[in-house]
Structure 1
Amino acid sequence: MTKRGSASHSAWLMFMYPRLQLARELLAKDGAIFISIDDNECHNLKLLCDDIFGEENFIAEFPRITKRGGKSSDIVAKNHDYLLMYTKTNSPKLYAIEHNDTAFKYQDEFFEERGYYKLNQTLDYDSLQYSSSLDYPLEIDGEVFYPGQSEEAYNERQSGNHDTADWAWRWSKEKFKFGYENGFVVVKTGRNGKRIYTKTYQKATIEDGDTGYYVDYSDRTKSLSTLETTENPYSNDNATKDVAKTIGKKIFDHTKPLELMTLIGRLCTRNDDIILDFFSGSAATAEAIMKLNCEDSENHRKYILIQLPEECKEGSSAYKAGYRTICDIGMDRIIKSKKLYNQEFPTSTADLGFKHYTLAEVSQTTLDKIEKFDNSGFITDTTVYDEFGIETVLTTWLIHDNYGFVNNCEMVDLAGYTAYWCENHLYLINPGLTEEAIKSLVEKYNIEGAFNPQNIVLFGYSFNYVEMENLKTNVKILRDSEKNLKINLDIRY
């Protein structure tokens, strides 16, 4: 223990090291990891991540505002913690962040086609270096403009007196002509007189194939500043407000702000990407992904949240509200967030559902039965079936056969016996496969043209020798019939 009463630095490193190693293995080749940390272990975490992910894969350390008031000491108030970002390789899949649209507030004759526009810098905004090719007078509606608004200074430069601090246009004559003719230039009157501004539209991209000149809206995106997260929307105060909208106040402490999680989602994810949060807490990550999917109908991000079943303390606000574990809080937040976003985005087709899975130890008795299993008898031993249950086995196989967690699996009634059909696979998991059920299966293959799964998968523990042989015989009959069905019988244990 340290003098502060917390675990020693070495104990914390031993706790984190294997988890981060596993995290790296789980990352996609173009994936990224974000780790939130305060200043107690930030320096150690940086060294740890350099070792596991490689110094060359360090992207940034974002300081994040926690509370404007801060945790006050006698002299210094601590107002921020950190967010470390690493990637698995040096070729990550990252996306530029769009500016918000608040600056896009002007309309012109191109509004229906291009939307609102915003003003960029003046055309003679200070150049990095002087170029005589960009130092020329412009005439617009009979009025002549000079870089830096000074004809006198322009004439002096033309006589050979200039340096790198002198003004010049940002565009060449040809590009100005192109931009002006296509409506990307406007003259505005301000405190310093008339100035030439360039315009950026919300959705216009104009290109001249002959000259190669183009003006587009690429500057709506920006490199993400590491100071972005020092703004108030990323503070814990706003995180508290976020969670209050769904599960209520004082139910969960130390949740992450929604703005932070959506920022990470925009930076790193697009269609079908998977976001893994293995310290899920109140499920802020889930809500952020749901919000992003509703805002952007073309992308369908997926999330996996992991949380230990940590119990809520008796007498706590969460316990009084009916929650017994942190998992309960997270699930309820997802459910209530779904209702919230269904109202906010009524036309969205985003899938806001989720499935809940529990990791559980298998009993030693069942493990022994699996190791010594023998189905050569006439009596079915359902011990293994009872231990795992239908949902566990079926979900495992659907994932194994590349149907994923979301699929079109449906139940099939075979003379009272329930089978499960998903595209090219028919799963027989339940015990009690009667002769009538097998006859019903054969009849279904022969009569229903749409029913033609080429793989019949059996949970071997649920069937005895007689049932297995009866099924094998009838499958062989189907193969040898006039329909010449190609059916594979797959027995899994």
Structure 2
Amino acid sequence: MIKETLDSNGKGKLNDKKIAILKEHFPNCFSGGTLDIEKFKKEINQDIDFSSEGYEMNFLGKNYAKYIADSIDTESVLVPDVEHNSKSENSKSENIYITGDNLDVLKHLRKSYSGKVKMIYIDPPYNTGGGDFAYNDNFRFTKKELQEVLDIEEQEAERILNMTSSNSSSHSAWLTFMYPRLYLSRELLKDEGVIFISIDDHEKSQLQLLCDDVFGEGNRLGTIIWKKKTNGNNMGYIPPVHDYILAYGKSVTEESILGFPLTKDEIEAKYKNPDQDPRGPWDTMDLSANHEGPYFPIKNPKTSKVYYPPKGRYWVFNETEVKKRIEDGRIIFGKSGNVGPVQKVFLKDRTNLRKKAESWWDKHGMNEDGTEELEELIGTKIFDHPKPTELIKNLCSISTKEDDLILDFFSGSATTADAIMQLNANEEGNYHCKYILVQLDEKVKKGSNAEKAGYKTIDEIGRERIIRAAEKIKESTGADIDYGFKHFFAKELNESAIDQIKEFDPNLLASELEVEFDRDTILTTWMNQDGHGLTPSVEAVNLDGYTGYYVQDYLYLLDKGLSQQHIDNLLSKIVEDKNFNPTSVVVYGYNFTDFNILTQLETNLKQLRNEEKSIEVSLIKRY
């Protein structure tokens, strides 16, 4: 089932994907497979500075982290929790909870959810040196393999392997741990998406530099200082009572406002009509932006004074558009007519009216609130400092709106799911966001209250919290919202199974593979791989006694026993049934031990192209 992944992992080199993109778009700049940088400079010809020196963040393991993020696919499978998912409250839910290593899960998610997540919130390990973080990955590289894929010296390869296998808590280890997760986060975000990251003083500076590197310094939205407790318990030279929440966008524009929706009174106070403009109430907005754009003088027709954009900024409109807007009164020179040009924006044209969130948050819940909330739901104190729902609700409020998708891949006690359900159940009924939560099945501490309460792993606590929070919210509000969630496990294979898959030869189908994947696991993993996500509608299709699984335009044939009779029925259905239009038929190769059947299926599907309807259906064989 994952043979293709196992075969490809470890064969590429760092930046292979980026080089492939350059080859696709600039083939004339390559000679013998090597990029001719001088030709490339001339080709783009945008006065870009290619100087050899410049400011950048480097740390031991950075190229390794890049390689892990971009060139190594997950070797795990997604196993659905069939019993949980079939319950009435969960069967149609669009919320998702995944148990597993979040790096593996992010690699699964990129296949269906890239560019679809509006907001990510994470509360990663803070690396205080007190045992809350220790890096230890499970990638099986030898020193020689690492030298080859990263093109590095033996000594550096040895240092990286030592760091990644020795429970290191150094800054480099923490950054190597965080880099691929942030890299994949950026892929998952929508263009207007935002990520919030909680952190304390120990790694705040390093995290900001890392985020500048991954998201771009120009996409830094700011930093929230959140007061998490009333006193610092006399810890440290200056006892801290706050955490930081770093905010970055994927592609920041002047519309990337992080703000609370304006109330009716605030809207009326902001948008007035002092000059009785027939177009209605209006306010002013900056005419310049910090991203590259038009740069030219704008002349005030009344005073003849000339204005340029402020230093480092550009006009948001070209000269033709500026002239047009001055003539129709949509660009004015202040309300007095004697200052720099600004846009005149009308209330009727605004769809996202918000009051900018400020950097100091001292009325958004504290640690003790989060502790009490969880204790009330679970019945005992399990975590010391879970984030309060009030904090997460406010982060959601300033960055999301109806039907957005929110991701938390260090979900811990599942505060994020609780907060989203509370928002969804609000009286206005205009907020219907969905969530994806990810949590490692990390064992609870021996002798802890969690263990005494019967919990074995952190993810068990998180799922139980969601169930109990849903019951409480439903009882108190009666709101008709999605209270359920689909549950999946990201399951890694043991080395014995991996060896069998690697050695299996699809050209010798008579050989038997002892590693068996159940149908639900195969279907879940492949549906997601093919871009259908984890909560699509699946139709069981009866092919004269053989069952296929139809998802959007893909038909999955996963069971043993396919015969020519079933193939004939499939072909007839494709030709005759107007509601059945698969473009791809995917077969589970291990269950098709007869070459003749596979060959016949492929031949018959090709023949459809020669029919009058010229139907194109491709056959995909996977192992």
Q: Distance in 1 between matches of 2:219 and 2:483?
A: 33
TM-fit CA distance, 1:271? 5.1
Q: SS in structure 2 opposite 1:309?
A: coil
Shift in alpha-carbon separation, 1:8–1:95, aligned structure 2, 3 A: closer
Letter in 2 for 1:260: L
Match for residue 555 of structure 2? 426
Is residue 623 of structure 2 the alignment partner of residue 490 of structure 1?
A: no
The sequence identity of aligned pairs, in percent, is 33
Is residue 256 of structure 2 the alignment partner of residue 94 of structure 1?
A: yes
Match for residue 370 of structure 2? 239
Q: SS in structure 2 opposite 1:222?
A: strand
Whether the aligned pair in 2 keeps the contact of 1:94 and 1:267 (CA below 8 Å) is: no
TM-fit CA distance, 1:77? 5.2
TM-score (norm 2): 0.54
Q: Which has the larger radius of gyration?
A: 1
| Matches for 1:128-167 after TM superposition, within 5 Å | none
Which structure has more relative contact order (CA 8 Å, sep 6+)? It is: 2
TM-fit CA distance, 1:395? 2.1
Match for residue 597 of structure 2? 467
Whether the aligned pair in 2 keeps the contact of 1:30 and 1:92 (CA below 8 Å) is: no
Q: Distance in 1 between matches of 2:587 and 2:128?
A: 60
Whether the aligned pair in 2 keeps the contact of 1:32 and 1:92 (CA below 8 Å) is: no
List gaps (5 residues or longer) in structure 2. 1-126, 135-167, 282-327, 331-343
Is residue 358 of structure 2 the alignment partner of residue 225 of structure 1?
A: yes
Aligned match of 2:174 in 16, 39, 53? Answer: 16
Aligned match of 1:265 in 384, 390, 396? Answer: 396
TM-fit CA distance, 1:372? 4.2
TM-fit CA distance, 1:250? 0.7
Whether the aligned pair in 1 keeps the contact of 2:554 and 2:585 (CA below 8 Å) is: yes
Q: SS in structure 2 opposite 1:306?
A: strand
Letter in 1 for 2:520: E
Letter in 1 for 2:354: T
Match for residue 409 of structure 2? 278
Shift in alpha-carbon separation, 1:259–1:397, aligned structure 2, 3 A: same
Match for residue 185 of structure 2? 26
| Matches for 1:157-236 after TM superposition, within 5 Å | 172=274, 174=276, 221-227=354-360, 229-231=361-363, 233-236=364-367
TM-fit CA distance, 1:326? 0.5
Whether the aligned pair in 1 keeps the contact of 2:128 and 2:202 (CA below 8 Å) is: no
| Cα shift readout 1:142-188 (whole Å, capped 9, x = no counterpart) | xxxxxxxxxxxxxxxxxxxxxxxxxxxx974757xx99xxxxxxxxx
TM-fit CA distance, 1:53? 4.1
Shift in alpha-carbon separation, 1:300–1:402, aligned structure 2, 3 A: farther
Q: SS in structure 2 opposite 1:357?
A: strand
Shift in alpha-carbon separation, 1:346–1:456, aligned structure 2, 3 A: same
Aligned match of 1:319 in 448, 451, 461? Answer: 451
TM-fit CA distance, 1:268? 2.3
Shift in alpha-carbon separation, 1:94–1:359, aligned structure 2, 3 A: farther
Q: Distance in 2 between matches of 1:445 and 1:51?
A: 50
TM-fit CA distance, 1:333? 1.9
Letter in 2 for 1:396: T
Aligned match of 2:472 in 299, 318, 340? Answer: 340
Whether the aligned pair in 2 keeps the contact of 1:277 and 1:306 (CA below 8 Å) is: yes
- Across the aligned residues of Structure 1 and Structure 2, the Cα RMSD in angstroms comes to 4.3
Q: Which moved more, 1:362-371 or 1:409-418?
A: 362-371
Q: Which moved more, 1:17-26 or 1:480-489?
A: 480-489
Aligned match of 1:80 in 225, 242, 264? Answer: 242
Whether the aligned pair in 2 keeps the contact of 1:294 and 1:350 (CA below 8 Å) is: no
Q: Distance in 2 between matches of 1:440 and 1:35?
A: 53
Q: Distance in 1 between matches of 2:401 and 2:270?
A: 35
Whether the aligned pair in 2 keeps the contact of 1:261 and 1:284 (CA below 8 Å) is: yes
Q: Distance in 1 between matches of 2:543 and 2:414?
A: 41
TM-fit CA distance, 1:32? 2.7
TM-score (norm 1): 0.66
Whether the aligned pair in 1 keeps the contact of 2:204 and 2:244 (CA below 8 Å) is: yes
Q: Distance in 1 between matches of 2:255 and 2:466?
A: 27
| Cα shift readout 1:299-356 (whole Å, capped 9, x = no counterpart) | 6544333322210123322122221100111122223333334445545344742332
The number of residues matched between the two structures is: 397
